[in-house]
Amino acid sequence: MAKMCGTGAGCLSEDEVRMRLLLDARNITDKPAGVARYAKALIPELARLMPDGELCVIRHASNQTPLEVPGIKEVFVDIPIDNTRNVLFGHKALGEAFRKFGPPDIYHNLFHVSPRRLPDSLKVVVTLHDLVWIEHPDASQPTWLKARAIEQFAKRAIPATLKRADHVISVSDFTAERARRYHSSPTTVIMHGVETHFFDPVPPVDPIVEHLTRDQTRYIVAVGNSKPYKNLHRLIRAWARVRPKLGKSKLCLVGDNKALMPLIEELGLKDDVVLVGFLGDEDLRRIVGHAHLFAFPSLVEGFGLPPLEAMALGVPVILSNIEPMKTVGGEAALSFDPLDIEAIAQAIESVFKDDTLHQKMIQKGKAHAAAMTWTRAAEETLKVYKTFG
């Protein structure tokens, strides 16, 4: 029997992956970030490892750009995955997939909110990314009312999803342990990987990078949005404190961060902080890859993929000393208390002023990121599927 071998999880014989798999990836958008990046990276690896299997992917109709993954079928539905409509009516989306694809052996929801009405006979796998909506609603939403709404929704929907699952995949030990109060389903921890193109040579500079590096200016980059738990407001305040000590330098923020502009102007940093908005993969690799330092100051995360991508690109990383970021960063990153603005400033200054430390962090980061592959994650996911016989 032929074998398929990838990195990290050993070999899988072909007869182990002959199954009909329904992947719910309605969270993939035209601007994939966070949990959407997980889905978009995992699906091609699963398809590659399952040449004799049948894979159908449920997508939301708002983004009908094909995934262009050989061997998969895509079904587009109107019901989103991340709100009450999915809980109440998501079974209709699955029903449409069943009619077009046939009953699956396994339904794997790549997000952690499932429809309430699922067939009792259906084998269900759910990926749990985090518990931010339940445990930190105020940090995840811009207003008190929105925080209360998402909290009430999540406290019902997420525990019900986990209890119905025949198997839960958690992206970190920390998240798995926190979730134990809500369910008793079998759980496997499978950490994210780094897409292979992040190990490719960094794309050449473009006008944005030229602006950031003009006159030998060095810049620090952070990827995230303006939600409170991303903690970019403290990073900006830390930058205001340390900026005068660093010579020619700028802070670059990637993502939807227009809401931070009043703070930037208040601190007199309009010329020292650059907002570039959402970036596609090529431009993201370019902006991060040419940076002198990458910062990830989050107050809470389920995993935290951007620091690993920065390491793969050969950029030193400083990050919060929270769980699970300690695992994500390992010994390759420099950590700080995310609530302490002075600690953030000191971490930035340490890497900017110590060339030996800077080079050592680059080397350690590349080695650390190289061990985190999506092939490994896909192989471990297939092992979960195989537990159903």
Please tell me the total number of residues recorded for the chain in this structure.
Answer: 389
Mapped to the 3 state alphabet, what secondary structure does 238-252 carry? Answer: HHHHHHHHCCCEEEE
Which pLDDT score is estimated for 139? 77
Which pLDDT score is estimated for 189? 97
Per-residue pLDDT reduced to its tens digit, 94-145? 888 888 888 999 999 999 988 888 899 999 999 999 998 899 888 778 788 8
pLDDT (average), residues 215-228: 93
| pLDDT-derived band at 286, boundaries 50, 70, 90 | very high
CA distance 252 to 271: 11
Domain boundaries, the chain: 3-193+373-386, 196-370
Which pLDDT score is estimated for 6? 40
**Could you say which of 3.40.50.720, 3.30.420.40, 3.40.50.2000, 2.40.37.20 is the CATH number of the domain covering 3-193+373-386?**
3.40.50.2000
Is the pLDDT reported for residue 336 higher than 50? yes
| pLDDT-derived band at 33, boundaries 50, 70, 90 | low
**Could you say which of 1.20.1560.10, 3.40.50.2000, 2.20.25.570, 1.10.3720.10 is the CATH number of the domain covering 196-370?**
3.40.50.2000
Per-residue pLDDT reduced to its tens digit, 154-163? 899 999 999 9
Question: Do residues 59 and 23 touch, judged by C-beta distance below 8 A?
Answer: no
Per-residue pLDDT reduced to its tens digit, 63-89? 888 888 998 999 998 887 777 777 777
Give 43's Cβ-side CA count (13 Å radius).
32
Question: Do residues 112 and 162 touch, judged by C-beta distance below 8 A?
Answer: yes
pLDDT (average), residues 4-21: 56
On the question of a common fold for 3-193+373-386 and 196-370, the answer reads yes
